[in-house]
Homo-oligomer: A and B are copies of this chain.
Protein backbone atom coordinates (compact mmCIF):
# COMPACT_ATOMS: atom_id res chain seq x y z
CA UNK A 1 0.00 0.00 0.00
CA UNK A 2 1.58 3.27 -1.05
CA UNK A 3 1.90 5.81 1.73
CA UNK A 4 -0.48 8.73 2.08
CA UNK A 5 1.65 11.12 3.93
CA UNK A 6 1.06 13.46 6.76
CA UNK A 7 -2.58 14.25 6.36
CA UNK A 8 -3.62 13.72 9.89
CA UNK A 9 -0.74 15.48 11.52
CA UNK A 10 -0.68 18.62 9.44
CA UNK A 11 2.35 19.67 11.42
CA UNK A 12 5.81 19.97 10.03
CA UNK A 13 7.08 22.61 12.35
CA UNK A 14 8.60 20.10 14.71
CA UNK A 15 9.73 17.82 11.94
CA UNK A 16 11.66 20.23 9.74
CA UNK A 17 13.56 17.99 7.37
CA UNK A 18 12.33 14.76 8.84
CA UNK A 19 9.45 14.47 6.46
CA UNK A 20 8.52 10.86 6.96
CA UNK A 21 5.20 9.36 6.11
CA UNK A 22 2.30 9.70 8.48
CA UNK A 23 2.35 7.41 11.43
CA UNK A 24 -1.36 6.84 11.31
CA UNK A 25 -1.98 5.51 7.81
CA UNK A 26 -5.43 7.01 8.17
CA UNK A 27 -5.53 8.93 4.91
CA UNK A 28 -5.01 5.76 2.87
CA UNK A 29 -7.60 3.95 4.93
CA UNK A 30 -10.09 6.76 4.45
CA UNK A 31 -9.44 6.95 0.74
CA UNK A 32 -9.88 3.22 0.24
CA UNK A 33 -12.93 2.80 2.41
CA UNK A 34 -14.78 5.82 1.06
CA UNK A 35 -14.05 5.11 -2.60
CA UNK A 36 -15.24 1.52 -2.09
CA UNK A 37 -18.40 2.94 -0.56
CA UNK A 38 -18.84 5.30 -3.51
CA UNK A 39 -18.39 2.43 -5.92
CA UNK A 40 -21.21 0.50 -4.27
CA UNK A 41 -23.33 3.63 -4.15
CA UNK A 42 -22.87 4.38 -7.83
CA UNK A 43 -23.29 0.76 -8.83
CA UNK A 44 -26.62 0.57 -7.03
CA UNK A 45 -27.96 3.80 -8.49
CA UNK A 46 -30.64 1.99 -10.48
CA UNK A 47 -31.72 -0.26 -7.65
CA UNK A 48 -35.42 0.44 -7.33
CA UNK A 49 -35.39 -1.35 -3.98
CA UNK A 50 -33.59 1.64 -2.52
CA UNK A 51 -35.55 4.58 -1.23
CA UNK A 52 -35.23 7.75 -3.29
CA UNK A 53 -34.46 9.48 -0.01
CA UNK A 54 -34.25 8.32 3.54
CA UNK A 55 -35.87 11.40 4.93
CA UNK A 56 -34.91 12.68 8.37
CA UNK A 57 -35.64 15.92 10.14
CA UNK A 58 -32.72 18.21 11.01
CA UNK A 59 -32.66 17.14 14.67
CA UNK A 60 -32.50 13.51 13.65
CA UNK A 61 -29.63 14.23 11.27
CA UNK A 62 -27.81 16.02 14.06
CA UNK A 63 -28.18 12.98 16.25
CA UNK A 64 -27.15 10.50 13.57
CA UNK A 65 -23.95 12.41 12.88
CA UNK A 66 -23.22 12.53 16.59
CA UNK A 67 -23.69 8.79 16.76
CA UNK A 68 -21.11 8.50 13.98
CA UNK A 69 -18.65 10.22 16.29
CA UNK A 70 -18.70 13.16 13.92
CA UNK A 71 -20.90 15.89 15.36
CA UNK A 72 -21.92 18.43 12.71
CA UNK A 73 -20.54 21.31 14.78
CA UNK A 74 -16.90 22.34 14.41
CA UNK A 75 -16.79 24.50 17.51
CA UNK A 76 -14.58 22.33 19.68
CA UNK A 77 -11.92 22.05 16.98
CA UNK A 78 -10.99 18.52 17.98
CA UNK A 79 -10.00 16.00 15.35
CA UNK A 80 -11.87 12.77 14.92
CA UNK A 81 -10.44 9.50 13.68
CA UNK A 82 -10.85 7.57 10.46
CA UNK A 83 -13.70 5.49 11.80
CA UNK A 84 -15.81 8.58 12.49
CA UNK A 85 -14.92 10.11 9.12
CA UNK A 86 -15.93 6.98 7.25
CA UNK A 87 -19.14 6.67 9.29
CA UNK A 88 -19.99 10.30 8.57
CA UNK A 89 -19.49 9.68 4.86
CA UNK A 90 -21.74 6.63 4.99
CA UNK A 91 -24.43 8.58 6.83
CA UNK A 92 -24.21 11.47 4.39
CA UNK A 93 -24.67 9.13 1.43
CA UNK A 94 -27.56 7.41 3.14
CA UNK A 95 -29.37 10.63 4.08
CA UNK A 96 -28.95 12.52 0.80
CA UNK A 97 -31.45 12.25 -2.03
CA UNK A 98 -30.41 9.54 -4.47
CA UNK A 99 -30.44 11.81 -7.49
CA UNK A 100 -29.45 8.89 -9.74
CA UNK A 101 -32.47 6.81 -8.70
CA UNK A 102 -34.79 6.13 -11.65
CA UNK A 103 -37.62 7.70 -9.65
CA UNK A 104 -35.85 10.91 -8.71
CA UNK A 105 -37.64 13.58 -10.75
CA UNK A 106 -37.35 16.56 -8.43
CA UNK A 107 -34.86 18.66 -10.38
CA UNK A 108 -33.58 19.20 -13.89
CA UNK A 109 -30.53 17.05 -13.25
CA UNK A 110 -30.16 13.47 -12.20
CA UNK A 111 -27.75 10.63 -12.44
CA UNK A 112 -24.40 11.16 -14.09
CA UNK A 113 -22.69 8.64 -16.33
CA UNK A 114 -19.80 6.59 -15.00
CA UNK A 115 -17.49 8.23 -17.50
CA UNK A 116 -18.64 11.70 -16.46
CA UNK A 117 -18.28 10.70 -12.85
CA UNK A 118 -14.71 9.46 -13.15
CA UNK A 119 -13.91 12.52 -15.26
CA UNK A 120 -15.05 14.67 -12.38
CA UNK A 121 -13.19 12.58 -9.83
CA UNK A 122 -10.05 12.92 -11.91
CA UNK A 123 -10.34 16.70 -11.91
CA UNK A 124 -10.80 16.52 -8.13
CA UNK A 125 -7.61 14.49 -7.75
CA UNK A 126 -5.71 16.86 -10.06
CA UNK A 127 -6.96 19.79 -8.00
CA UNK A 128 -6.09 22.40 -10.54
CA UNK A 129 -7.67 25.47 -12.04
CA UNK A 130 -8.71 25.95 -15.65
CA UNK A 131 -7.29 29.47 -15.79
CA UNK A 132 -3.89 28.83 -17.37
CA UNK A 133 -2.42 26.37 -19.82
CA UNK A 134 0.73 25.94 -17.78
CA UNK A 135 -0.99 24.21 -14.89
CA UNK A 136 -3.92 22.59 -16.71
CA UNK A 137 -2.91 22.03 -20.34
CA UNK A 138 -5.23 19.14 -21.14
CA UNK A 139 -8.19 20.70 -19.36
CA UNK A 140 -7.73 23.95 -21.25
CA UNK A 141 -7.60 22.14 -24.59
CA UNK A 142 -10.58 19.96 -23.70
CA UNK A 143 -12.61 23.05 -22.83
CA UNK A 144 -11.90 24.44 -26.29
CA UNK A 145 -12.90 21.13 -27.84
CA UNK A 146 -16.28 20.96 -26.10
CA UNK A 147 -17.00 24.58 -26.97
CA UNK A 148 -16.06 23.89 -30.61
CA UNK A 149 -18.46 20.96 -30.73
CA UNK A 150 -21.23 23.03 -29.19
CA UNK A 151 -20.60 25.82 -31.70
CA UNK A 152 -20.96 23.19 -34.42
CA UNK A 153 -24.22 21.88 -32.93
CA UNK A 154 -25.60 25.41 -32.66
CA UNK A 155 -24.65 26.14 -36.25
CA UNK A 156 -22.65 29.22 -35.23
CA UNK A 157 -19.73 30.38 -37.36
CA UNK A 158 -16.60 28.95 -35.67
CA UNK A 159 -14.57 31.95 -36.83
CA UNK A 160 -16.58 34.37 -34.69
CA UNK A 161 -17.65 32.13 -31.82
CA UNK A 162 -16.19 31.33 -28.44
CA UNK A 163 -17.38 30.16 -25.07
CA UNK A 164 -16.60 29.19 -21.51
CA UNK A 165 -17.58 26.74 -18.84
CA UNK A 166 -19.06 28.61 -15.89
CA UNK A 167 -20.46 27.61 -12.48
CA UNK A 168 -24.08 27.04 -13.41
CA UNK A 169 -26.76 28.17 -15.79
CA UNK A 170 -27.59 31.26 -13.74
CA UNK A 171 -24.04 32.48 -14.14
CA UNK A 172 -24.18 31.60 -17.85
CA UNK A 173 -27.24 33.82 -18.24
CA UNK A 174 -25.43 36.51 -16.29
CA UNK A 175 -22.62 36.32 -18.84
CA UNK A 176 -25.14 36.65 -21.67
CA UNK A 177 -26.56 39.81 -20.16
CA UNK A 178 -23.12 41.22 -19.42
CA UNK A 179 -21.80 40.48 -22.92
CA UNK A 180 -24.81 42.14 -24.48
CA UNK A 181 -24.30 45.23 -22.34
CA UNK A 182 -20.59 45.40 -23.10
CA UNK A 183 -21.17 44.84 -26.83
CA UNK A 184 -23.47 47.82 -27.10
CA UNK A 185 -22.07 49.99 -24.31
CA UNK A 186 -18.38 49.18 -23.90
CA UNK A 187 -17.92 52.31 -21.80
CA UNK A 188 -19.77 50.52 -18.98
CA UNK A 189 -16.63 48.52 -18.27
CA UNK A 190 -14.75 51.56 -17.05
CA UNK A 191 -17.47 54.07 -16.29
CA UNK A 192 -20.41 51.99 -15.08
CA UNK A 193 -24.00 52.00 -16.27
CA UNK A 194 -24.49 55.56 -15.15
CA UNK A 195 -22.42 56.50 -18.20
CA UNK A 196 -25.19 55.21 -20.47
CA UNK A 197 -27.71 57.88 -21.45
CA UNK A 198 -31.04 56.43 -20.41
CA UNK A 199 -32.10 53.47 -18.34
CA UNK A 200 -30.96 50.07 -19.62
CA UNK A 201 -33.88 47.74 -20.29
CA UNK A 202 -33.96 44.02 -21.00
CA UNK A 203 -36.66 41.43 -21.56
CA UNK A 204 -37.47 37.86 -20.83
CA UNK A 205 -40.72 35.93 -20.78
CA UNK A 206 -43.04 35.59 -17.83
CA UNK A 207 -42.03 31.92 -17.77
CA UNK A 208 -38.29 32.54 -17.76
CA UNK A 209 -35.95 31.33 -15.05
CA UNK A 210 -35.38 33.55 -12.04
CA UNK A 211 -31.72 33.91 -12.93
CA UNK A 212 -32.61 36.65 -15.41
CA UNK A 213 -34.00 38.78 -12.59
CA UNK A 214 -31.04 38.01 -10.34
CA UNK A 215 -28.63 38.92 -13.14
CA UNK A 216 -30.44 42.20 -13.77
CA UNK A 217 -30.07 43.11 -10.10
CA UNK A 218 -26.44 42.07 -9.97
CA UNK A 219 -25.52 44.02 -13.10
CA UNK A 220 -27.06 47.16 -11.70
CA UNK A 221 -29.85 47.17 -14.26
CA UNK A 222 -32.56 46.34 -11.74
CA UNK A 223 -35.17 43.61 -11.68
CA UNK A 224 -37.88 46.00 -12.88
CA UNK A 225 -35.81 46.57 -16.00
CA UNK A 226 -35.79 42.86 -16.83
CA UNK A 227 -39.32 43.14 -18.11
CA UNK A 228 -41.49 40.07 -18.30
CA UNK A 229 -43.20 39.64 -21.64
CA UNK A 230 -46.51 37.72 -21.63
CA UNK A 231 -46.56 34.13 -22.85
CA UNK A 232 -48.91 32.32 -25.19
CA UNK A 233 -50.89 29.20 -24.31
CA UNK A 234 -47.84 27.06 -25.01
CA UNK A 235 -45.73 29.04 -22.55
CA UNK A 236 -43.77 30.95 -25.22
CA UNK A 237 -42.87 34.61 -25.19
CA UNK A 238 -45.14 36.54 -27.57
CA UNK A 239 -42.95 38.29 -30.16
CA UNK A 240 -45.62 40.89 -30.86
CA UNK A 241 -45.84 41.74 -27.16
CA UNK A 242 -42.09 42.00 -27.04
CA UNK A 243 -42.06 44.38 -29.98
CA UNK A 244 -44.83 46.49 -28.47
CA UNK A 245 -42.92 46.83 -25.19
CA UNK A 246 -39.68 47.70 -26.97
CA UNK A 247 -41.45 50.45 -28.88
CA UNK A 248 -42.98 51.84 -25.71
CA UNK A 249 -39.60 51.79 -23.97
CA UNK A 250 -37.73 53.46 -26.82
CA UNK A 251 -40.44 56.09 -26.98
CA UNK A 252 -39.93 56.70 -23.26
CA UNK A 253 -36.22 57.35 -23.81
CA UNK A 254 -35.09 54.05 -22.33
CA UNK A 255 -32.29 51.88 -23.72
CA UNK A 256 -33.55 48.41 -24.64
CA UNK A 257 -30.57 46.17 -25.41
CA UNK A 258 -31.22 42.53 -24.47
CA UNK A 259 -33.79 39.79 -24.92
CA UNK A 260 -33.39 36.65 -22.82
CA UNK A 261 -35.25 33.86 -24.52
CA UNK A 262 -35.68 30.39 -23.08
CA UNK A 263 -35.24 27.00 -24.71
CA UNK A 264 -36.96 24.70 -22.26
CA UNK A 265 -38.62 26.69 -19.50
CA UNK A 266 -38.22 25.43 -15.97
CA UNK A 267 -41.84 24.55 -15.36
CA UNK A 268 -43.55 23.84 -18.67
CA UNK A 269 -40.51 22.96 -20.76
CA UNK A 270 -41.56 25.50 -23.39
CA UNK A 271 -39.30 26.74 -26.17
CA UNK A 272 -39.54 30.37 -27.21
CA UNK A 273 -39.85 30.90 -30.97
CA UNK A 274 -36.36 32.02 -31.85
CA UNK A 275 -37.12 33.00 -35.45
CA UNK A 276 -39.78 35.48 -34.40
CA UNK A 277 -37.69 36.87 -31.56
CA UNK A 278 -34.68 37.22 -33.85
CA UNK A 279 -36.70 39.33 -36.26
CA UNK A 280 -37.75 41.68 -33.47
CA UNK A 281 -34.23 41.90 -32.08
CA UNK A 282 -32.80 42.65 -35.52
CA UNK A 283 -35.34 45.36 -36.12
CA UNK A 284 -34.42 47.19 -32.92
CA UNK A 285 -30.77 46.23 -32.54
CA UNK A 286 -31.13 44.00 -29.47
CA UNK A 287 -28.95 41.10 -28.39
CA UNK A 288 -30.76 37.75 -28.34
CA UNK A 289 -29.56 35.36 -25.65
CA UNK A 290 -31.07 31.93 -25.08
CA UNK A 291 -31.27 30.20 -21.73
CA UNK A 292 -30.95 26.64 -23.00
CA UNK A 293 -29.76 25.30 -19.64
CA UNK A 294 -32.48 22.65 -19.75
CA UNK A 295 -33.51 22.60 -23.42
CA UNK A 296 -30.00 22.72 -24.85
CA UNK A 297 -30.02 18.94 -24.77
CA UNK A 298 -32.38 19.15 -27.76
CA UNK A 299 -29.29 20.10 -29.78
CA UNK A 300 -28.40 16.43 -29.46
CA UNK A 301 -31.86 15.16 -30.41
CA UNK A 302 -33.01 13.99 -33.82
CA UNK A 303 -33.03 16.52 -36.65
CA UNK A 304 -36.81 16.65 -36.33
CA UNK A 305 -36.65 17.39 -32.59
CA UNK A 306 -34.02 20.03 -33.08
CA UNK A 307 -35.99 21.68 -35.84
CA UNK A 308 -39.23 21.55 -33.87
CA UNK A 309 -37.76 23.03 -30.69
CA UNK A 310 -34.72 25.07 -31.68
CA UNK A 311 -35.40 26.41 -35.16
CA UNK A 312 -33.38 29.57 -35.70
CA UNK A 313 -30.89 28.89 -32.92
CA UNK A 314 -27.99 29.40 -35.33
CA UNK A 315 -28.86 33.10 -35.45
CA UNK A 316 -29.11 33.89 -31.75
CA UNK A 317 -26.24 35.87 -30.23
CA UNK A 318 -25.47 33.76 -27.20
CA UNK A 319 -26.58 30.48 -25.69
CA UNK A 320 -26.42 28.87 -22.27
CA UNK A 321 -26.44 25.09 -21.90
CA UNK A 322 -26.05 22.79 -18.89
CA UNK A 323 -24.91 19.33 -19.94
CA UNK A 324 -25.51 18.26 -16.35
CA UNK A 325 -29.17 18.27 -17.34
CA UNK A 326 -30.41 15.19 -19.22
CA UNK A 327 -27.03 14.58 -20.89
CA UNK A 328 -25.53 12.97 -17.80
CA UNK A 329 -22.55 15.10 -16.82
CA UNK A 330 -22.11 15.60 -13.09
CA UNK A 331 -23.26 18.87 -11.58
CA UNK A 332 -21.99 21.52 -12.36
CA UNK A 333 -21.41 21.51 -16.05
CA UNK A 334 -22.60 24.70 -17.68
CA UNK A 335 -21.44 26.78 -20.57
CA UNK A 336 -22.08 30.02 -22.33
CA UNK A 337 -21.31 30.38 -26.03
CA UNK A 338 -21.64 33.46 -28.24
CA UNK A 339 -20.99 34.24 -31.89
CA UNK A 340 -20.26 37.96 -31.76
CA UNK A 341 -16.55 37.83 -32.39
CA UNK A 342 -13.62 36.01 -30.87
CA UNK A 343 -11.99 38.12 -28.22
CA UNK A 344 -15.23 39.60 -26.94
CA UNK A 345 -15.10 37.69 -23.63
CA UNK A 346 -11.53 38.83 -23.09
CA UNK A 347 -12.30 42.41 -24.06
CA UNK A 348 -15.26 42.39 -21.71
CA UNK A 349 -13.71 40.75 -18.64
CA UNK A 350 -9.97 41.01 -19.13
CA UNK A 351 -7.93 42.94 -16.58
CA UNK A 352 -4.51 41.59 -17.63
CA UNK A 353 -3.32 40.71 -14.14
CA UNK A 354 0.46 40.58 -14.49
CA UNK A 355 0.86 37.94 -11.79
CA UNK A 356 -1.19 35.35 -13.66
CA UNK A 357 -1.41 36.03 -17.35
CA UNK A 358 2.20 36.83 -18.17
CA UNK A 359 2.96 37.32 -21.82
CA UNK A 360 6.43 35.86 -21.49
CA UNK A 361 5.42 32.39 -20.37
CA UNK A 362 5.06 29.26 -22.46
CA UNK A 363 1.78 29.23 -24.39
CA UNK A 364 0.23 32.07 -22.46
CA UNK A 365 -1.92 32.60 -25.54
CA UNK A 366 -3.88 29.47 -24.56
CA UNK A 367 -4.99 30.93 -21.22
CA UNK A 368 -8.73 31.52 -20.86
CA UNK A 369 -8.68 32.73 -17.28
CA UNK A 370 -8.92 36.40 -18.16
CA UNK A 371 -12.06 35.83 -20.24
CA UNK A 372 -13.96 35.11 -17.06
CA UNK A 373 -15.42 36.85 -14.02
CA UNK A 374 -13.69 34.28 -11.82
CA UNK A 375 -10.05 33.66 -11.00
CA UNK A 376 -9.70 30.00 -10.00
CA UNK A 377 -12.18 27.97 -12.04
CA UNK A 378 -12.90 24.26 -11.92
CA UNK A 379 -12.13 22.37 -15.14
CA UNK A 380 -15.79 21.48 -15.67
CA UNK A 381 -15.34 20.70 -19.35
CA UNK A 382 -13.40 17.50 -18.76
CA UNK A 383 -16.26 15.44 -17.35
CA UNK A 384 -18.62 16.14 -20.24
CA UNK A 385 -15.81 15.69 -22.75
CA UNK A 386 -14.98 12.27 -21.33
CA UNK A 387 -18.62 11.23 -21.14
CA UNK A 388 -19.31 12.48 -24.66
CA UNK A 389 -16.33 10.55 -25.96
CA UNK A 390 -17.57 7.42 -24.25
CA UNK A 391 -21.25 7.72 -25.11
CA UNK A 392 -21.12 9.28 -28.55
CA UNK A 393 -23.63 11.42 -30.39
CA UNK A 394 -25.94 8.59 -31.40
CA UNK A 395 -26.57 7.26 -27.92
CA UNK A 396 -27.08 10.79 -26.64
CA UNK A 397 -29.63 11.35 -29.38
CA UNK A 398 -31.54 8.29 -28.25
CA UNK A 399 -31.38 9.50 -24.68
CA UNK A 400 -32.96 12.85 -25.55
CA UNK A 401 -35.61 11.20 -27.70
CA UNK A 402 -36.40 8.74 -24.93
CA UNK A 403 -36.93 11.59 -22.48
CA UNK A 404 -39.45 13.11 -24.87
CA UNK A 405 -41.15 9.73 -25.42
CA UNK A 406 -41.40 9.20 -21.68
CA UNK A 407 -43.11 12.53 -21.19
CA UNK A 408 -45.58 11.72 -23.95
CA UNK A 409 -46.24 8.34 -22.44
CA UNK A 410 -46.81 9.90 -19.02
CA UNK A 411 -49.20 12.43 -20.56
CA UNK A 412 -51.14 9.58 -22.14
CA UNK A 413 -51.48 7.64 -18.89
CA UNK A 414 -52.54 10.84 -17.12
CA UNK A 415 -55.11 11.73 -19.76
CA UNK A 416 -56.62 8.27 -19.64
CA UNK A 417 -56.48 7.99 -15.86
CA UNK A 418 -60.17 8.51 -15.29
CA UNK A 419 -61.05 5.65 -17.62
CA UNK A 420 -58.25 3.20 -17.11
CA UNK A 421 -59.49 1.79 -13.82
CA UNK A 422 -55.96 1.80 -12.49
CA UNK A 423 -56.44 4.56 -9.94
CA UNK A 424 -58.79 5.50 -7.10
CA UNK A 425 -58.46 9.18 -7.87
CA UNK A 426 -57.62 10.66 -11.24
CA UNK A 427 -55.03 12.89 -12.88
CA UNK A 428 -55.39 15.94 -15.07
CA UNK A 429 -52.78 17.23 -17.46
CA UNK A 430 -51.89 20.93 -17.27
CA UNK A 431 -50.92 21.10 -20.96
CA UNK A 432 -49.56 18.81 -23.66
CA UNK A 433 -45.85 18.32 -23.12
CA UNK A 434 -43.50 19.43 -25.89
CA UNK A 435 -40.27 18.40 -24.29
CA UNK A 436 -39.55 16.44 -21.10
CA UNK A 437 -41.76 18.26 -18.56
CA UNK A 438 -45.14 16.87 -17.56
CA UNK A 439 -47.30 19.15 -15.43
CA UNK A 440 -50.35 17.56 -13.85
CA UNK A 441 -52.76 17.58 -10.93
CA UNK A 442 -53.85 14.67 -8.85
CA UNK A 443 -57.54 14.75 -7.93
CA UNK A 444 -58.27 12.53 -4.95
CA UNK A 445 -61.74 10.94 -4.70
CA UNK A 446 -62.81 13.52 -2.09
CA UNK A 447 -62.33 16.29 -4.67
CA UNK A 448 -63.49 14.38 -7.71
CA UNK A 449 -65.83 17.20 -8.75
CA UNK A 450 -62.93 19.61 -9.38
CA UNK A 451 -61.67 20.12 -12.93
CA UNK A 452 -58.60 22.35 -12.62
CA UNK A 453 -57.57 21.97 -16.26
CA UNK A 454 -60.90 23.13 -17.61
CA UNK A 455 -61.25 26.47 -15.90
CA UNK A 456 -60.96 28.56 -12.80
CA UNK A 457 -61.88 27.17 -9.42
CA UNK A 458 -63.64 29.04 -6.69
CA UNK A 459 -61.40 30.31 -3.90
CA UNK A 460 -62.55 27.52 -1.61
CA UNK A 461 -61.99 24.90 -4.27
CA UNK A 462 -58.58 26.35 -5.07
CA UNK A 463 -57.64 26.30 -1.42
CA UNK A 464 -58.66 22.67 -1.11
CA UNK A 465 -56.92 21.48 -4.28
CA UNK A 466 -53.74 23.37 -3.40
CA UNK A 467 -53.31 21.13 -0.37
CA UNK A 468 -53.28 17.91 -2.33
CA UNK A 469 -49.87 17.87 -3.97
CA UNK A 470 -47.89 19.09 -0.93
CA UNK A 471 -49.70 16.41 1.07
CA UNK A 472 -48.75 13.74 -1.45
CA UNK A 473 -45.19 14.98 -1.74
CA UNK A 474 -44.63 15.00 2.02
CA UNK A 475 -45.97 11.49 2.38
CA UNK A 476 -43.95 10.17 -0.55
CA UNK A 477 -40.81 11.83 0.79
CA UNK A 478 -41.21 10.25 4.20
CA UNK A 479 -41.79 6.87 2.55
CA UNK A 480 -38.80 7.23 0.21
CA UNK A 481 -40.97 7.11 -2.90
CA UNK A 482 -40.50 9.15 -6.09
CA UNK A 483 -39.49 12.77 -5.62
CA UNK A 484 -41.24 15.28 -7.89
CA UNK A 485 -41.46 19.01 -7.36
CA UNK A 486 -44.63 21.11 -7.53
CA UNK A 487 -45.59 24.68 -8.41
CA UNK A 488 -48.12 26.82 -10.24
CA UNK A 489 -51.93 27.07 -10.25
CA UNK A 490 -53.37 25.12 -7.33
CA UNK A 491 -50.00 23.39 -6.99
CA UNK A 492 -49.45 20.95 -9.82
CA UNK A 493 -46.70 18.35 -9.98
CA UNK A 494 -43.90 19.19 -12.41
CA UNK A 495 -42.47 15.90 -13.53
CA UNK A 496 -39.22 16.08 -15.52
CA UNK A 497 -37.29 13.36 -17.29
CA UNK A 498 -33.86 14.78 -16.65
CA UNK A 499 -32.34 11.37 -16.10
CA UNK A 500 -34.07 9.39 -18.84
CA UNK A 501 -31.67 6.61 -19.52
CA UNK A 502 -32.71 4.38 -16.66
CA UNK A 503 -36.39 5.31 -16.54
CA UNK A 504 -38.93 2.91 -17.99
CA UNK A 505 -42.59 3.13 -18.86
CA UNK A 506 -43.22 0.91 -15.86
CA UNK A 507 -41.63 3.60 -13.70
CA UNK A 508 -44.08 6.11 -15.11
CA UNK A 509 -47.07 4.00 -14.14
CA UNK A 510 -45.50 3.12 -10.81
CA UNK A 511 -45.06 6.78 -9.87
CA UNK A 512 -48.66 7.63 -10.68
CA UNK A 513 -49.88 4.61 -8.73
CA UNK A 514 -47.87 5.68 -5.71
CA UNK A 515 -49.26 9.19 -5.84
CA UNK A 516 -52.71 7.68 -5.92
CA UNK A 517 -51.89 5.34 -3.04
CA UNK A 518 -50.61 8.04 -0.71
CA UNK A 519 -53.15 10.63 -1.86
CA UNK A 520 -56.43 8.74 -2.26
CA UNK A 521 -57.44 9.23 1.38
CA UNK A 522 -56.78 12.96 1.32
CA UNK A 523 -59.49 15.01 2.97
CA UNK A 524 -59.27 18.76 2.46
CA UNK A 525 -59.27 21.20 5.31
CA UNK A 526 -60.93 24.51 4.62
CA UNK A 527 -58.92 26.33 7.24
CA UNK A 528 -55.57 24.96 6.24
Contact = CB atoms under 8 A, between A and B. Distances in A.
Nearest to A349: B214
Contact of A134 (B32, B41, B97, B220): B97
Contacts of A392: 10, 77-80
A210 B351 CA distance: 7
Interface in A81-125: 82, 84-85, 88-89, 91-93, 95-97, 99-100, 106-107, 109-115, 117-122, 124-125
Contact of A170 (B109, B373, B488): B373
Contact of A127 (B95, B169, B331, B378): B331
A96 B193 contact: no
Given A135-B99, A199-B192, A170 B210 contact: no
Interface stretch (A240-248, A305-313, A337-345, A395-403): A395-403
A96 B5 contact: no
A376 B106 CA distance: 13
B168 A376 contact: yes
Interface residues of A, number: 197
B107 A135 contact: yes
Given A127-B100, A135-B483, A376 B225 contact: no
A189 B222 contact: yes
Given A127-B100, A391-B79, A485-B355, A376 B331 contact: yes
Nearest to A60: B137
B137 A2 contact: no
A31 B114 contact: yes
A258 to B, nearest CB: 13
A16 B354 contact: no
Contact of A331 (B11, B114, B128): B128
Contact of A89 (B118, B128, B366, B505): B118
A23 to B, nearest CB: 13
Given A146-B74, A191-B222, A477-B362, A32 B38 contact: no
A178 interface: yes
Given A32-B39, A389-B70, A224 B190 contact: yes
Interface string A122-162: 10111111000111111101100110110010000000000
Contacts of A77: 392-394
A485 B354 CA distance: 10
Contacts of A148: 73-75
Nearest to A401: B13
A41 B35 CA distance: 14
B504 A330 contact: no
B222 A2 contact: no
Nearest to A167: B167
A330 B96 CA distance: 21
A58 B133 CA distance: 9
Given A89-B386, A134-B477, A210-B375, A217 B6 contact: no
Contact of A362 (B55, B170, B382): B55
Contacts of A462: none
Contacts of A491: 360
Output the residue of A194, A376, A385 with the most chain B CB within 10 A.
A376
A470 interface: yes
A28 interface: yes
A422 interface: no
Contact of A137 (B95, B214, B331, B389): B95
A14 B485 CA distance: 29
Nearest to A356: B485
Nearest to A399: B10
A128 B99 contact: yes
Contacts of A324: 376
Contacts of A10: 328, 391-392, 395-396, 398-399, 501
The 10 A-B residue pairs with the shortest CB-CB distance in the complex, in nearest-first order: A220-B220, A79-B392, A192-B222, A77-B393, A10-B395, A27-B114, A11-B398, A2-B43, A167-B167, A355-B487
8 contacts: A11-B395, A74-B389, A92-B126, A107-B129, A121-B124, A167-B167, A170-B375, A170-B376
Given A35-B121, A134-B483, 12 more contacts: A4-B114, A5-B45, A7-B391, A57-B363, A72-B145, A74-B148, A129-B331, A134-B477, A168-B374, A170-B375, A191-B222, A267-B355
